Structure formats: C-alpha cells, structure tokens
A = this chain, B = another copy of it.
Amino acid sequence: MKYEIFSSDSNVITFSSFGTLKTQLNHIKHPLFYSNCCYCNTTQSSFITETKATSCDIRKTLARMEDSIDHLAFERNKAQFDVDEMKIVWAGSRQDFELSDRISRLVASDPAFRKDDRTTLGRKELFKNTLRKAAYAWKRINELRLNEQEAYKLRSFVDQPAFTDLHWGMFVPAIQGQGTDEQQQKWLPLAYRMQIIGCYAQTELGHGSNVQGLETTATFDPKTDEFVIHNPTLTSSKWWPGGLGKISTHAVVYARLIIGGEDHGVHGFIVQLRSLDDHLPLSGITIGDIGMKFGNAAYNTMDNGVLRFDHVRIPRNQMLMRVSQVTREGKYVHSNVPRQLVYGTMVNVRQKIVADASVALSRAVCIATRYSAVRRQFGSHNGGLETQVIDYKTQQARLFPLLASAYAFRFVGEWLKWLYMDVTKRLQANDFSTLPEAHACTAGLKSLTTTATADGIEECRKLCGGHGYLCSSGLPELFAVYVPACTYEGDNIVLLLQVARYLMKTVSQLGSGNKPVGTTAYMARVEQLMQYHSDVKKAEDWLKPNVVLEAFEARAARMSVACAQNLSKFTNPEEGFQELAADLVDAAVAHCQLIVVSKFIEKLQQDIPGKGVKKQLEVLCSIYALFLLHKHLGDFLSTGCINPKQGSLASEQLRNLYSQVRPNAIALVDAFNYTDHYLGSILGRYDGNVYPKLYEEAWKDPLNDSVVPDGFKEYIQPMLKQQLRNARL
C-alpha cells in the first residue's frame, strides 16, 4: 500500500521498542497513525521513547513497521492463562498441534495457495483456479512425501472445496468399506495414485433424504453377465455429487439392484464415466454441472454434477460386493460380513462433520472476537476513544456463547472420535449392542452442531456490523461454504426425528429391564429425574457441574417422557409420531444438548495442564450450559425442573461469566492457532491492523481497474446528457 502524507508540516513520530506505536502529530492526524491511536491503549506511554522524524522518514518507516505492529498486544497482555498450553488442548494433543501448525504455515507461506482474489472471479476462472490448486497441492504432497494425515491437513488448509475432497473423502472410503478384497486390490491403487478420479453418486434430482426411494436401476443381464445402469425418469437423474460435473472419471453409483424383475434395494456400483484418453463421457452417459450455488466462491469451486445413464453396461464384478453378492447365475446372496457395517461408516462420517463444525464456528468466532476488540463505537466523551464493542454486554451476550460453543463442539467431537473407535472395535467382535445408541447419538450431534454453527457464523457476521457484509471479512464465504452441512449427510430435522424415535423406544423399554446405554444411561434414573427440583439458591450455585448436569438431565428426561405419554394417546403410533413431530424434535434437541454439556463436564474432570487453562475452560463450560438454559428457559420452567427465580439467577451468573471471559477473549481465539491465510479475513487479522488493510483491499476489485467504468459511455452518459430517447439499450 502507498501511504499518502497529508501535509508537509514537520511531524513528530514516536515509537516504542516494544513494537507498539504512538504518534503525536501537529494538528494533522495521519490516517495510519490515527488508526493506531484507536487500537493501542494510551496507558502504554511509559514504554515509549521519542524519536524525531520528518514526513519523508515516516513514509519509509511505515511500510517497514506496519507488519510488525501488533495492535492487539494490549488485549493479549490481559490474558490470565497460558495460551500455548490451550493450543495443545484445542488441537487434541501436542502431536496434533504440531502437525496442524506445520502444515498450515506451509500452505499460508506458499503464494500458489493465495485465495484473496477468489470472490471476484467468474465461474470458469474460479473453477480453473481450483483445478490448479488441487493439482499443485497433489504435486506438493508427493514432493514432500506427506503421509495420509498430512495430506488431508494440507487439503483442508488450502480451504477451497474441490473434486479431490470427494475422491478422498467418499469414493475411496466407499470402496474400502463396501468393496471385496479383490475389488479393493483392483481399484484402490489406481485411486491412491489418482490415475482415476472418483465421486459418490447417490442423491437424485427427486431424492435427497430418502435414500431408499432412489430410482436409478442396475438390472442384471444374465446373458452378458452385466448390470445395465439406467435412469428411467427425469427425477432419477443423479444430482449434486461433487466432482461429478466436470472432473471425475469414475463414480460409485447407487442404484436399485433388479434381478429377474425383483427389486433388491439400493446397492453401490463402480462405474466409469469418462474416457481416460480424451475425458469425454462414455457412450450412454450425459453429464454436466448443476450450476451456481450460494456464495461468491464457496462451493462454486466444485463441479457438483448431474448424471444420466441410458442403459449403460458394466461388468458384474463392479457391484460393491462386500456385504451382498450377485452370482454368475443371478442369485442374490449375503456374505457373513454384518450389514451393520454401514452404520459404523455413518458414525465415522458424522463424527468428522462434528469436528468440522467446531473448526468452522471457531474461525467465525475468531474473526468476530478480534474485530470486536478493534472496532469502537459510541461511548466517547470529551473526544477521546470510543468504546471497544467487545465491552458492550449485548455484544458479549451474543459472542461469548458462540466462543463457548466452539470449545464445546471441539470436545464433543473429540469424544465422538473415541466413540467411533469403540464401535469399530465392537463391530469387529460382532458386538452390535451399542450401535443403535451410537448411531442416534452421532445423528443428533451432527444436527445440533451444524445448525448451531451455521447460525453462529451468520451471527458472527452480524456482530461485525456492516463490514461483515464485505467478502474481505471472510464471513460471507465461511457461511456459504458451511451451510450445506445442515442438509447433507442427513437433513437436520430428519436426523432429530431419528433421535426422537430412539428416545421413544428407550422410554418405552424402561420398565422391561432393558437398561439404557451410553448417552441415554441417565434415563435409568427416570423416576428420580421426574421428582427433581433444582435446589439452586444463589447465582454461584449454577457454577457447580452437578447442579447443571442434573437440570439438563431432568429436562431431557421429562420432555421425552411427556412425548411418550402424548404418543400413547394415539391409536395409530405412526400417526401420533407425525402429529407430535415438532415436540419430538424439541425433546431430541434437549437430549443432544445434554450430551454436549455432559461431555464438556467430563473433559474438565481430566487433568489439564497449563497455568489457568482449566479455569478458562470451566468458565466456558458454564457459559455454554447457562446460555442454553437461558435460551430454552421455557423447557426448564414448563417441565418444572427449575423455577423462575432460579432462571433469573442463571442469567445473573451468565453476566458474571461474560466479565470473566472478557480479558481472555483474544487469547481464547488465538488458541485456535489459525493463520491469517486460513482465516481469510481482514477483520480477523492477527495483528488487528484492520482499517488500512480494508482500505487497501478495496482497490483490488476489478471494478477499480478503470476510473470510469465499462458501460458509462453506453448507458450513463446518454442519461446525463438527456439523450436516452434514441439510445439502443
């Protein structure tokens, strides 16, 4: 950036050896210096040593100094805990921290991964840009001999959705999970080397949530020992698969298996889509991109596609046959591999989604928190500094619960990872006992965390005021790229209904000696929980983990029991379930919130090293729980778990907790350890140098390529000159 000097008057520039800068200008305030005054607390003047300088010196000094000034240093100095130790807690382990730290810096420091120009590109340029980055990332992965985990990290820090996400995230795992050993030996090496590129073709134009309703058919032809893949209707067109539209050479296609006129339900098939020579779709196959999606760049970097088959033939051995097989004679048989495996896969996929939720939410919170410390509005008396918006209680009451949620989702995600390993171990030992509970639990947590994250990102955007609406804030992209998580891998409301079904089953079996397991274990104490009345007498009582936990358990249990009682009034249970669906969803939410709260509390029962680290997490845990209690006060009151006075004590305690977080807020988002590249936000810059950079960024827009815009001569000049009547428009 070039700095204009507004006056040739001699200026006095003063800066400290501690990297903070303070200016005393004679009458004229230099824009950058003035900004600095806005950021730095004036109380730091004791550090300052004076140096005289002329305008000319200033000009030279500025560029050099700007990038080394930390405008948020005075905020960081306030922190009451060891940020480096918190980084380890956030990452999960020292090893995980070091991995993320190393790979994220590697990406951030490579200009080939620059992403600040994305939002101005048209669709074609944007897509080409993605192809380049994906190829370059793959090249680097090979050059640096990165292992699988490192490669995954690298792709995620590149932070631009691409066909490779589906290749590695869906195509490869589908073959690993559903292919026979023979199929894995044939296809996986090709996929691992990217000699073929695959996608996952499940959803159809008319069928998203209802996988069992898919219409694409795979009809066995015993004459030729082939399957005939076909789309009988328009609504059966495959629709949405990422990477399909323009890039994938292969797909795992889900279709109804038809043998001799009999429908055996939906199965997966490996189908080659495009020639490996000229990349043209094979005969009988129509493929295209489904068009623009929400957001400027966001998922428009991805070729979500449409696919139609007109009687396309594939060999019989391209059906994924680990669980069920079709023999040469056209007999449909099951292997001894348990079908429940598919649920294990679901637990794994959803576990990753919960982990991603904490990442997305924490990015937004990091941006909003840093900018809330930089931004000042109102509260200035006698011409002094205005108040940092982070000091307003309304800002805290919206921002800090999201900060707490980010941590809460992080820890519940960590626990889900353990759950997945536990389930896998049991599956291998043919123990399916915990599977339904694990499935319900992950479904519910996927729904809860993705909804809260999508809403939370948008709330963070609003918390940044008008500037949050600029793409350079990073928040519009973050929202647009995140929000499909509420729909994919199970619509969030549909998932909650699945949880509710499981809860109703659990309640109905309570008398039968079938002991509820895992996250529903509290239901075993249902009689006690139905009698529960909170004994909170003063605001601090709400800081006790057991007090909070019992209130959440009682609320969840009572809402489930109430639903079960209301359901029992219907002669047709399914009709009752439909009629009471909205209440059932509420009960499921209560149950899922309890899980998150209880896992946060469990985390805090562990030993957590680092000065003040555990204390901060305790504060965040209380905020998360009491914020939910406040938000769902109607649940807690109407079930009689707490009384209005106790509700108001919870609000009082919440306000106290906000004051405790306040000095630690910046350090708590620093602990996420995001690079400025990954954040992709001027408002969220680590150094807080927002306004000069925002100003600088504006000029990069293509509209600023010329002073007089394209179209002026044809459309605006005739208007101004009153010559529009004869203009051709």
From B135, B636, B639, give the contact of A729 (CB < 8 A). Answer: B135
Given known A-B contacts A695-B205, A720-B194, A233 and B708 have beta carbons under 8 A apart: no
Q: Do A377 and B647 touch (CB < 8 A)?
A: no
| Structural contact, A703 and B289, CB atoms closer than 8 A | yes
Q: Determine how close the nearest CB of chain B comes to the CB of A28; give it in whole angstroms.
A: 7
Stoichiometry (number of copies) = 2
Digit string of A689-729 for contact with B (CB within 8 Å is 1, else 0)?
00110110111111111011111101111111010110101
Given known contacts A647-B634, A725-B139, is B471 in contact with A293 (CB within 8 Å)?
Answer: yes
A444 contacts partner chain B, Cβ-Cβ < 8 Å: no
Partner of A128, one of B472, B578, B708, B709: B709
A77 within 8 A of B: no
Minimum Cβ distance to chain B for residue A208 (Å): 5
Residue of A123, A207, A476, A483 most packed against chain B (CB within 10 A): A123
Residue of B nearest to A629 (CB): B634
A289 to chain B, nearest CB (A): 4
Q: Which of B310, B392, B700, B725 contacts A142 (CB 8 A)?
A: B725
A548 to chain B, nearest CB (A): 17
User: Given A291-B698, A702-B124, A704-B288, are A462 and B476 neighbors across the interface (CB < 8 Å)?
Assistant: no
- Min distance, Cβ A713 to any Cβ of chain B, angstroms: 9
Q: Are B119 and A292 in contact (CB under 8 A)?
A: yes
Interface centre among A194, A294, A639 (most CB of B within 10 A): A294
Establish whether residues A120 and B634, one from each chain, have CB atoms under 8 Å apart when the complex forms: no
Judge if A638 is at the interface, Cβ distance under 8 Å.
yes
For the complex formed, measure the closest distance between the CB of A199 and the CB atoms of chain B, giving whole angstroms. 13
A392 to B466, alpha carbons, bound, how many Å? 38
Chain B residues whose C-beta falls within 8 Å of the C-beta of A573 in the assembled complex: none
Across the interface, do A644 and B638 meet the contact criterion of CB distance under 8 Å?
yes
Tell me which residues across on chain B come within 8 A of A355, comparing CB atoms: none
Q: Is A60 an interface residue (CB 8 A)?
A: no
**A234 CB-CB contact with B under 8 Å:** yes
A35 within 8 A of B: yes
Shortest A209–chain B CB gap in Å is 5
Residue of B nearest to A721 (CB): B195
Are B208 and A377 touching (Cβ within 8 A)? yes
Complex contacts, A724 vs chain B, CB 8 Å = 135, 138-139, 142
Contact, CB under 8 Å: A394 / B720 = no
A712 CB → nearest B CB, Å? 6
**Which of A135, A299, A461 is most buried by chain B, counting CB atoms within 10 A of its CB?**
A135
Which B residues touch A727, using CB under 8 A? 135, 139
Instruction: Report the bound CA distance from A718 to B727 in whole Å.
Output: 51
Q: Quick check: is A281 within 8 A (CB to CB) of the other chain?
A: yes
Given A6-B310, A703-B303, A720-B195: A470 and B640 within 8 A (CB)?
A: no
A632 within 8 A of B: yes
The distance in angstroms between the C-alpha atoms of A143 and B578, with both chains bound, is 57
With known contacts A292-B296, A581-B392, A632-B634, A131–B716 Cβ distance under 8 A: yes
The CA of A342 and the CA of B360, in the complex, are separated in Å by 43
- Output the least CB separation between A447 and chain B (Å): 12
When distances are taken between beta carbons in the complex, the residues of chain B under 8 Å from A143 are 725
Given contacts A294-B469, A719-B138, whether A206 and B691 have CB atoms under 8 Å apart is yes
Q: A698 contacts B288, CB within 8 Å?
A: yes
Of A178-186, A272-280, A407-415, A598-606, the one with at least 4 CB within 8 A of chain B: A272-280
11 cross-chain CB contacts under 8 A: A31-B233, A132-B715, A135-B729, A139-B727, A289-B703, A292-B296, A306-B695, A466-B484, A466-B488, A630-B634, A634-B635
- Given A35-B235, A291-B472, 19 more A-B residue pairs with CB atoms under 8 Å apart are A31-B235, A35-B233, A124-B705, A128-B715, A131-B711, A131-B714, A132-B729, A138-B724, A213-B380, A235-B691, A249-B720, A290-B470, A303-B709, A392-B581, A393-B581, A458-B458, A462-B486, A638-B647, A640-B644
The 8 closest A-B pairs by CB, nearest first: A31-B234, A633-B634, A122-B122, A294-B476, A128-B711, A135-B715, A638-B644, A34-B233
